């Protein structure tokens, strides 16, 4: 909601020091996670992580960014959690099937969501 996708990805990498583990935590592929971090690095113009296969470490700039942002990230996460509770604990489901479109699956997913009033 308030927290950008790329910021969530950066925090997950900083805390897991592994693309695979961070991607798992975020329900992404390591490739998608790596792409998101590259976008963040492109936006900032600063290299934030050192890549070595699936293992990563933070650069000096990445370490500073993580340490500076973490308190604010946790506050924003807390606000998001409270708003979710106020919203009535509705669940959002996002489904992506590697760029493929299948109307049969889409129809079944929409039917499933309509039958359950707490899913968007």
Write the DSSP assignment of 81-117 as a string of letters: HHHHHHTTS-B------TT---HHHHHHHHHHHHHST
pLDDT of residue 54: 64
Q: What is the pLDDT of residues 56-103, one digit of tens each?
A: 899 999 999 999 999 998 888 888 878 777 766 566 656 555 555 555
pTM assigned to the model: 0.68
Residue 45: helix, strand or coil by DSSP?
A: coil
pLDDT of residue 61: 95
Write the DSSP assignment of 20-40 as a string of letters: HHHHHHHT--HHHHHHHHHHH
pLDDT of residue 118: 60
Q: How confident is the model at residue 18 (pLDDT cuts 50, 70, 90)?
A: confident
Nearest to 14 by CA among 52, 58, 47, 59: 58
More confident residue, 97 or 30: 30
pLDDT of residue 105: 64
């Amino acid at each position: 909601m308030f927290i950008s996708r790329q910021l969530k990805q950066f925090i997950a990498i900083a805390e897991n020091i592994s693309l695979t583990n961070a991607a798992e935590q975020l329900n992404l592929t390591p490739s998608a996670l790596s792409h998101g971090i590259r976008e963040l690095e492109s936006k900032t113009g600063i290299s934030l992580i050192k890549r070595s296969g699936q293992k990563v470490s933070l650069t000096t700039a990445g370490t500073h960014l993580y340490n500076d942002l973490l308190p604010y990230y946790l506050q924003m996460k807390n606000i998001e959690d409270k708003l979710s509770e106020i919203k009535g604990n509705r669940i959002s489901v996002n489904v992506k099937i590697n760029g493929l479109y299948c109307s049969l699956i889409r129809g079944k997913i929409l039917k499933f969501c309509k039958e359950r009033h707490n899913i968007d």
